């Protein structure tokens, strides 16, 4: 299987895990089909492919659901999404969670699928306070009201106390593990940290952090 085909299979696998638009799969898993909501993408450690998976999933959802998808970066340590799309970070999720900006004020539209992207933005001080603010739940409701699907790129769980807190606001969480890097112990510890979250499954990422040309085009990226 080529790397492009492998990534396509991964995306289809995430659809099945979350039950997106697939009543039969959801019924088989005895879950309710996810017709809309917030999908958190997490990983035990950095550099396991979660951000590329989040970008690919959000782009595919925007394509499949007429642009009604938002990709939100809550990894304030890496700012990978802003770098990937070439976005400025004068404001972003940090400002949204702080309550100083609205969704429409921090989002960017990315062609060709009209994906709406919210970069992390500049967090001032301890990023953990953004996740634990009293009105964080309201900010996530604002996101849900703005798009059919919201894909949240969460921080790496093993290196961030913020990740399990933000994951609580997601309707479903998908864990990304990298073959040959993520250990069984890593997964066990990560799942324990995500206790209480709606963790629906694990996606095994078998490829390097390389983005095929077809995916770059679909996500509005350039080589």
Q: Is the pTM of this model over 0.75?
A: yes
List the helix and strand counts (H, then E) for the chain: 11, 7
What is the domain class of 3-218 according to CATH?
alpha beta
Low-confidence ranges of the chain (pLDDT < 70): 1-10, 12, 21-33, 125, 127, 206-223
Pull the structure tokens for residue 192: 């324990």
d(CA 91, CA 98): 11
Going by their DSSP bridges, the two strands 115-118 and 149-153 should be labelled as unpaired
Per-residue tokens: 204: 């095994």
pLDDT digits (tens, 9 = 90+) for 94-122: 999 988 999 999 999 988 778 999 999 98
Q: What are phi and psi of 38, to 5 degrees?
A: -105, 125
* Residues 35-50: tens digit of each pLDDT: 889 999 999 999 888 9
Q: Alpha helix locations (H) across 89-135?
A: 93-98, 103-106, 128-132
Q: What is the pLDDT of residue 209?
A: 46
**What end-to-end distance do the CA atoms of the chain give, in Å?**
23
């Amino acid at each position: 299987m080529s790397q492009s085909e492998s990534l396509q299979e991964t995306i289809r696998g995430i659809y099945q895990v979350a039950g997106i638009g697939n009543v039969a799969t959801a019924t088989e898993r005895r879950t309710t089909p996810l017709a809309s909501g917030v999908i958190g993408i997490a990983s035990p450690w950095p550099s396991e492919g979660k951000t590329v998976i989040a970008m690919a999933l959000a782009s595919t959802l925007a394509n499949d659901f007429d642009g009604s998808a938002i990709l939100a970066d809550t990894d304030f340590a890496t700012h990978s999404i802003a770098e990937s799309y070439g976005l400025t970070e004068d404001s972003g999720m940090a400002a949204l969670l702080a309550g100083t900006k609205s969704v429409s004020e921090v989002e960017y539209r990315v062609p060709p699928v009209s994906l709406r992207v919210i970069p992390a933005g500049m967090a001032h001080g301890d990023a953990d306070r953004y996740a634990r603010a009293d009105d964080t739940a309201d900010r996530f409701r604002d996101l849900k009201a703005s798009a059919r699907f919201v894909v949240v790129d969460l921080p790496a769980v093993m290196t961030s106390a913020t990740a399990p807190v933000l994951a609580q606001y997601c309707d479903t969480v998908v864990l990304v593990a990298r073959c040959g890097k993520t250990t069984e112990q890593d997964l066990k510890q990560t799942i324990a940290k995500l206790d209480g979250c709606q963790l629906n499954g694990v996606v095994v990422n078998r490829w390097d952090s390389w983005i095929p040309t077809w995916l770059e085009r679909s996500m509005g990226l350039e080589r």
